[in-house]
Amino acid sequence: MTEPRAYDLHYGGRWQKPVSTERIEVRSPATGALLATVPAAGPADVTAAADAAQEAFDAGWGRMDALDRARPLRALAELLRARMGQLAELESAVTGRPIREMRAQMARIPEWIEYFASIAVGLEAESNLVKGGFVTLTAYEPQGVCALLTPWNHPVLILVKKLAAALAAGNCCLIKPSELAPVSPLILAEWAMEAGLPPGVVNVVTGAGPTGALVCDAAPVRRIDLTGGTATGRKVAARAGERLVPCTLELGGKTPVVIFADAPLDEAVAGAAFAAFVAAGQTCVSASRFLVARPLYNAFCTRLGARADALRLGDPADPATDMGPVISAAARTRCLDFIARAKAEGARLVAGGAPPDLAPPFDAGHYLRPTVFADVTPESHLFQEEAFGPVVSVTPFETEAEAVELANDSAFALGAAVWTCDVARAHRLSRAIRAGVLWINDHHKNDPRSIWGGFDASGWGKENGWDALRSYLRKRSIVIRTASQYDDWFAGKGRYG
Ligand code: NAD
């Protein structure tokens, strides 16, 4: 991105001038430079975009055979594959995440579209011959217009996870991306048209929380899918409840990583650094609470601290950069507050704890050195609350039971990881730790076939897999009489049931 571009909205198959005159600046988190502006869509914009989605649904996207829908979806996957370099540069510029990370992530995006296009073709309904001379058929159908509310940390990945399932199921989408990273979703809408998706199937309105609230309230919206913070989740769920519209909520986390004494220390430390500091700790499943068996504890703290200190912070566009900035000044201030409170609560600073010294223009970015605190107690703020940045805690444990208790001592239940060579223990822990996604001897691995979603304060519902496709469909039952004669109840013959 060179010259800042003033984007319009993208709905009904084309760029549309907003009615709202308010605009939002999109700035580089690495330098503060202005990258783009986008409209803060208001009521008239949201209504027009939602109506465009409903029109496209009524025009036949939902009634189309899944094989016919799969063709433009596969074309979109191919188009994204061809342009993944461009997309990675855009994602890196807007989020500040290192180009190496974004290239790796963009390389996998088409797989979600191909996967959902394929399984939608393979969706089979059921039929049963039932008592009394009846055949019952089940039928799947799309829900209609789906609102997709997405965060800024993986702007394309999280959007495509939802969009691919929703579209393959025959829905039309009204997307409200994060105000901090709205550009790639707008571009994606343009590319979807180029790939041959009918106008109005993919619609994007930009804006902040108030625009998101308008989207939730738009009359055509029949389903809401949010990835965001837990506080936002509560508001969206309340709104969905009020409207009786089903919703999926992928919310915050406080991922524990349990490291047993039999784990290979080198691998566990390398895995810990990756789990904690990729994306500058800004993923919902970022490792944030390390629970380490006492025999490894001191060595682990020292070595994780050394790995953190060795990470190269700097220009996200440089393939040698390991870690970029956090997304905003507010995010860095929040992380610095966590650091101040951890110190006040008696935790021991092992690495980081302050912004780095970087040369211009990166001295104006929201950088923070990767930070490790040891001797963190379970009741402390850092142990309990989501920092959503590169600030992690390490806590020792003596027994397996204590490790499980510490891991489960959280309102969140999204990701977790266990490092051990003991197969039986790995199985035991994978059942005992409360988490929707649990890795054994690894972290962050994600695949369209592998369901994703949390419990409790981390939300409800699933992304990925058949669960996600079915969540974008509604199921109906059709009961057909095969008996030759109607069983006349009031003529005294009827057998009720
Ligand atoms: P956020 O909650 O601030 O925003 C998410 C989206 O909701 C944005 O598009 C925002 O504009 C919109 N929004 C805000 N208020 C709204 C309202 N009242 N009504 C409707 N929409 C509204 O989250 P964020 O800062 O963009 O993302 C970070 C959070 O997302 C973290 O808590 C992280 O853990 C979570 N997250 C979860 C997952 C997961 O899979 N569970 C994945 C990534 C991020």
pLDDT at 392: 98
- Give residue-wise pLDDT tens across range 341-382: 999 999 999 999 999 999 999 999 999 999 999 999 999 999
Confidence bin at 495 (pLDDT 50/70/90): low
pLDDT for residue 438 is more than 60: yes
Phi then psi dihedrals of residue 90, to 5 deg = -65, -45
Token pair 């939730």: residue: 216
Q: Where in the chain is the domain with CATH 3.40.605.10?
A: 5-251+458-477
Q: Is 475 among the residues known to form the active site?
A: no
pLDDT for residue 77 is more than 60: yes
CA of 206 to the centre of ligand 1 (A): 14
Give mean pLDDT, residues 287-298. 98
Atom of ligand 1 nearest to the CA of 252: 34
CA of 68 to the centre of ligand 1 (A): 33
d(CA 48, CA 183): 20
Give mean pLDDT, residues 4-30. 98
381: which 2 tokens? 């703020």
Q: Is 162 among the residues known to form the active site?
A: yes
Judge contact between 421 and 195, C-beta under 8 A: no
The CATH architecture of the domain made up of 5-251+458-477 is: 3-Layer(aba) Sandwich (3.40)
pLDDT at 494: 63
CATH number, domain 255-440: 3.40.309.10
DSSP result, 289-301: EEEEEHHHHHHHH
CA separation, residue 77 to residues 191, 286, 288, 317 (Å):
10, 28, 34, 25
Q: Is 179 among the residues known to form the active site?
A: no
Judge contact between 163 and 117, C-beta under 8 A: no
Find, among 421, 422, 455, the residue nearest to 438 by Cα. 455
pLDDT at 489: 86
CA of 395 to the centre of ligand 1 (A): 29
Q: Is 111 among the residues known to form the active site?
A: no
Atom of ligand 1 nearest to the CA of 230: 32
pLDDT at 496: 55
The contacts of residue 41 (CB under 8 Å, 6+ apart) are: 9, 18, 20, 49, 205, 206, 207, 211, 214
CA of 228 to the centre of ligand 1 (A): 2
CA of 85 to the centre of ligand 1 (A): 26
The contacts of residue 133 (CB under 8 Å, 6+ apart) are: 481, 482, 483
Instruction: Please give all residues whose beta carbon lies within 6 A of any atom in ligand 1, as ranges.
Output: 149-153, 158, 176-179, 208-209, 212-213, 216, 226-229, 232, 235-236, 250-253, 284, 386, 388, 414, 454, 459
The whole-chain average pLDDT of the chain stands at 97
> What are the start-end ranges of the E strands in 423-489?
437-440, 455-456, 459-460, 473-481
Judge contact between 55 and 200, C-beta under 8 A: yes
135: which 2 tokens? 């055949």
- Give residue-wise pLDDT tens across range 104-119: 999 999 999 999 999 9
pLDDT at 439: 98
Judge contact between 176 and 215, C-beta under 8 A: yes
Phi then psi dihedrals of residue 395, to 5 deg = -135, 135
| CA 182, chain centre distance (Å) | 15
Give mean pLDDT, residues 186-206. 98
For a substitution probing ligand 1, which of 232, 410, 463, 467 has the most ligand atoms within 8 Å of its CB? 232
Q: Where in the chain is the domain with CATH 3.40.309.10?
A: 255-440
Q: Whose CA is nearest to atom 43 of ligand 1?
A: 284
Of these residues, 161, 162, 254, 462, which one is catalytic? 162
d(CA 426, CA 14): 51
Confidence bin at 493 (pLDDT 50/70/90): low
Bridge partners (DSSP) of residue 290 are: 257, 394
- Give residue-wise pLDDT tens across range 309-339: 999 999 999 999 999 999 999 999 999 999 9
Give mean pLDDT, residues 271-293. 98
Of these residues, 172, 216, 284, 301, which one is catalytic? 284
The contacts of residue 194 (CB under 8 Å, 6+ apart) are: 79
